[in-house]
């Protein structure tokens, strides 16, 4: 069946550096993908909608210059956390809908900024 894969699953980076998280649809094409963030003991909040071939759409309160999203192909979206700070430490997860609007989530990526 359809699978969405995220990489890396776990990443630790130093404060001030940038880190890239990949979201791939493995056996289907996704013109749209979604990025969510989950802070400890909180729910998942939609950050942005990634659109293949065009700019991402960010939710209110999400800094587009800090969270760079690139939907480079029909199977790959990347989220780059730029100049990461400890408060960016979170669980980031992507989703991709199939043609029938079945939504598949990636495994998620745990980011720790030290």
User: In whole angstroms, what is the distance from residue 46 CA to residue 38 CA?
Assistant: 9
Nearest approach, Cβ of 104 to other proteins (angstroms)?
A: 8
Residue 10 vs 87, nearer CB to other proteins:
10
Annotate 81-102 with DSSP letters as a single string.
Answer: E-S--GGG-EEEEEEEE-TT--
Contact window for other proteins (CB under 8 A) among 18-26, 70-78, 81-89, 98-106 = 98-106
For residues 69 and 50, give the distance between their C-alpha atoms in angstroms, rounded to a whole number.
7
Q: How far is the CB of 53 from other proteins (least distance, A)?
A: 17
Binding mask 32-71 toward other proteins (x if CB under 8 A, else -) reads: x-x-x-----xxxxx--x----------------------
Q: Does 97 bind other proteins (CB under 8 A)?
A: yes
Q: Is 47 left (phi over 0), alpha (psi -120 to 50) or beta?
A: alpha
Please give the Cα distance from 30 to 70 (Å, whole number): 13
Q: Which residues bind other proteins (CB under 8 A)?
A: 6, 32, 34, 36, 42-46, 49, 93, 95, 97, 101, 103, 105-108, 110
């Amino acid at each position: 069946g359809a699978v969405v894969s995220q990489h890396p699953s776990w990443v630790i980076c130093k404060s001030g550096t940038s880190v890239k998280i990949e979201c791939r649809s493995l056996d289907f094409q996704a013109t749209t993908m979604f990025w969510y963030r989950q802070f400890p003991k909180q729910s998942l909040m939609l950050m942005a909608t990634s659109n293949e071939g065009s700019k991402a759409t960010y939710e209110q309160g999400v800094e587009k210059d800090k969270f760079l999203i690139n939907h480079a192909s029909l199977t790959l979206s990347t989220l780059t956390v730029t100049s990461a700070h400890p408060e960016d430490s979170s669980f980031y997860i992507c989703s991709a809908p199939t043609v029938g609007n079945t939504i598949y989530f990636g495994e998620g990526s745990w980011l720790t900024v030290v």
